[in-house]
Amino acid sequence: MKLSTYLKDKLYAFIIFIAYIIVLILFLIALKLSSSIIIFITVFTTIIFFIILFYDYFRKRKFYLELLEKLDNLDQKYLLIEMLLEPNFLEGKILYQVLDEVNKNEHDLISELKQKEQDFKEYIELWIHEVKLPLASLTLMNRKDTNTLRELKRIEDDVEQILYYVRCENANNDYLIKEWNLENIVKNVALRNKDDLLALSIDLKVNNCNLKVLTDSKWLEFIINQIVSNSIKYKKDKDSFIEITGKDLENSVTITIYDNGKGISKSDLPRVFKKTFTGENGRGTKATGMGLYLCKELCEKLGHKIEITSCLGEYTKVVITIYKKGFYNLD
Amino acid sequence: MEKILIVEDDETLRDELSNLLSNSGYEVLILTDFKNSKEEIIKQNPDLILLDINIPYLNGEALLKSLRDDNKNIPVIMLTSSNKTIDEVLSISYGADDYITKPYNPTILLLRINNIFKRMKKSFDYLEYNDLKIYPNKGIIVKDNEEIYITKNEMLIFTYLLNNRGSIVNRDDLMSYLWNSDEYINDNALTVNISRLRAKLANIGYDNVIITRKGEGYLLK
């Protein structure tokens, strides 16, 4: 609150005061008082007027300056009221109480929404749990029928995508970072996609994956599975292969998933991690645009890095970087 | 015959599972009284338990823990639809021998069961086939003190056929076995490996011991 703006706001007081002074002077002149007394009374009244004005200004200035500064510095603006003391002047008090009331109301609303979200998440988890029972039964019933198994696997993948979507949109993080062997995670992904890979004659090459990684095995399995599923979906017509390579670096372990599939065009590439983005490859087909978005989100939560490079018609390469103990990426 | 106890409350799944296991030559036991699950398990005395986590009354993890607290060391494979890492970590720390999430590939399930039984039995470091001694870990076959080297894939194929000697092994199961051993080979490679294995066996006097049954699979005489 600048002094000039404050004074501008108090313009009405000046006008009234000046009018009052004029009337006062005329009145004193009419009383035939000596000019020194008139000057004294005028100056004295003016000083009193300014004292009142400045006292008021400084009292408010302290509160409003603090208010604006905190509003500026706060990350979560809604916490503002928690950071202020109740001021000792009327307008401030009213503002403070109003903010407090609004804040409480907002809090109630947010916690209600949070509760709803939590309920929804719990329901989804339960539902997925339930839907897996018939899926497991069907898998056992059709164990000799590869085509049915491949379709069942598609359902399973789609169901799992919802699960991870709900998990990653939710504030609470139910993952557990521990040391796992990358080879086992890659093996699970390979076994899940075995029927597809064999039926579509895509060669899978796995190199140097006997490495320890600090991650959540289920999450990483989901991420690698998404990428491999994409490679399968957008394969070339012949001589397709997918290559998964582990590399042990000083501060991190990287997993590279390389395929010689259709690739991604230059214009699509920067947007593949965006939610519901479907590029030229996916448009009009079975793409939901969620797969890579989820990979990115989950990687960020786990503190891993995911990067994608590609050349249209030649290859797609995804690199996941998992940091080692003490080198955790805190950005 | 090994006895496997299924602890699963979904009936369809339980029936299918018991079908799969009895077709694979195991004796199947089923737990129906979940109220006294621990006493029931001890009474039935199985060689292996397939345990679901989400069962009525005491959940799978708690049941496993109380079994282990009683010093019952029956091997346990957790079969669950839970996708949370915490459940896996918890189960393993309570003493589960393996952890498989639903829906599972049936062949893989059988392989994992087999692995556990193999681990339990005093494992020999070699297998026998007529007058041949096979050392899977060294990758050699010994005949009359003569050592023949075979590749890892050939060894996996040979030991799998040998373990199922006399019955037909279908290509898909053989493939699952190889993939489960981190050998992600394709159809052509499997055919090539089998013919190489045949040639190596023929060299040491075992001509035509691996028979191809069209549309069914392979058979080791």
Domain of B67, CATH number, reads: 3.40.50.2300
Give the mean pLDDT of A209-235: 91
Tell me the one-letter amino acid at A288. Answer: T
Return the SS3 of B50: strand
pLDDT at B124: 67
Give the mean pLDDT of A196-213: 90
For every residue of A123-154, DSSP letters joined together read HHHHHHHHHHHHHHHHHHHTTT-HHHHHHHHH
Distance, CA of A59 to CA of A87 (rounded, Å): 9
The torsion of the CA quartet B145, B147, B153, B157, rounded to 10 degrees, works out to: -30
Whether B115 and B8 share a structural domain: yes
Last residue within a domain, chosen from B67, B93, B120: B120
Whether B26 and B52 share a structural domain: yes
- Of A109-113, A126-130, A144-148, A278-282, give the lowest mean pLDDT range: A278-282
Distance, CA of A276 to CA of A297 (rounded, Å): 13
Whether B136 and B90 share a structural domain: no
Whether B114 and B136 share a structural domain: no
pLDDT at A283: 52
Whether B106 and B9 share a structural domain: yes
Q: How far is B71 from chain A (nearest CA, A)?
A: 28
Whether B29 and B116 share a structural domain: yes
Answering whether pTM is above 0.95, one says: no
Residues of A in contact with B82 (CB under 8 A): 129
Give the mean pLDDT of A13-23: 92
Q: Are B132 and B155 in contact (CB under 8 A)?
A: no
Instruction: Name the band, by pLDDT with cuts 50, 70 and 90, for residue A227.
Output: very high
CA-closest candidate to residue A176, choices A226, A224, A216, A236? A216
Whether residue A33 is predicted with pLDDT greater than 50 in this model: the reply is: yes
Last residue within a domain, chosen from B104, B120, B136: B120
pLDDT, averaged across chain A? 87
Distance, CA of A130 to CA of A135 (rounded, Å): 9
pLDDT at A277: 79
Q: How far is B142 from chain A (nearest CA, A)?
A: 30
Q: What is the pLDDT of residues B46-93, one digit of tens each?
A: 889 998 888 888 888 888 888 888 877 888 999 888 778 888 888 888
Of A17-26, A68-77, A163-172, A264-273, where does the model show the most confidence? A17-26
Do B176 and A191 count as a contact with CB atoms less than 8 A apart? yes
Residues of B in contact with A219 (CB under 8 A): 85
pLDDT at A32: 87
Count of the separate structural domains present in chain B:
2
Q: How far is CA A5 from CA A2, A9, A237, B15, in A?
A: 5, 6, 73, 82
Instruction: Name the band, by pLDDT with cuts 50, 70 and 90, for residue A331.
Output: very low
Q: Are A259 and A308 in contact (CB under 8 A)?
A: no
Its domain, for residue B59, covers 3-120
Token pair recorded at residue B63: 């049941």
Q: Which of A183, A198, A218 sits opposite B84 (nearest CB)?
A: A218
Q: Residue A263, exposed/middle/buried by CB under 10 A (0-12, 13-18, 19+)?
A: buried
Token pair recorded at residue B184: 């992600």
Domains and CATH numbers, chain A: 3-105 (no CATH), 175-323 (3.30.565.10)
Distance, CA of A139 to CA of A154 (rounded, Å): 12
Last residue within a domain, chosen from B91, B120, B149: B120
Whether B94 and B137 share a structural domain: no
Whether B13 and B33 share a structural domain: yes
Residues of A in contact with B105 (CB under 8 A): 139, 191, 194
Whether B112 and B15 share a structural domain: yes
Distance, CA of A325 to CA of A177 (rounded, Å): 11
Whether B115 and B133 share a structural domain: no
Q: How far is CA B55 from CA A251, B31, B37, B98, in A?
A: 43, 11, 10, 18
Whether B9 and B114 share a structural domain: yes
Residues of A in contact with B54 (CB under 8 A): 129
Lookup result for tokens 């002074």: A21
Q: What is the pLDDT of residues B124-163, one digit of tens each?
A: 677 888 888 888 888 888 888 888 888 989 999 998 888 8
Q: Which residues pair with A43 in a beta bridge?
A: none
Is the reported ipTM for this assembly greater than 0.95?
A: no
Instruction: Name the band, by pLDDT with cuts 50, 70 and 90, for residue A226.
Output: very high
Q: What is the pLDDT of residues A233-283, one digit of tens each?
A: 888 888 899 999 999 988 889 999 999 988 888 888 888 888 877 776 655
Q: Which regions of chain B does DSSP assign to beta strands (E)? A: 3-7, 27-30, 48-52, 76-80, 98-101, 127-129, 132-135, 140-143, 146-149, 210-213, 217-220
pLDDT at A308: 92
Give the mean pLDDT of A164-192: 84
Whether B10 and B86 share a structural domain: yes
**Is the CB of residue B23 less than 8 Å away from at least one CB of chain A?**
no
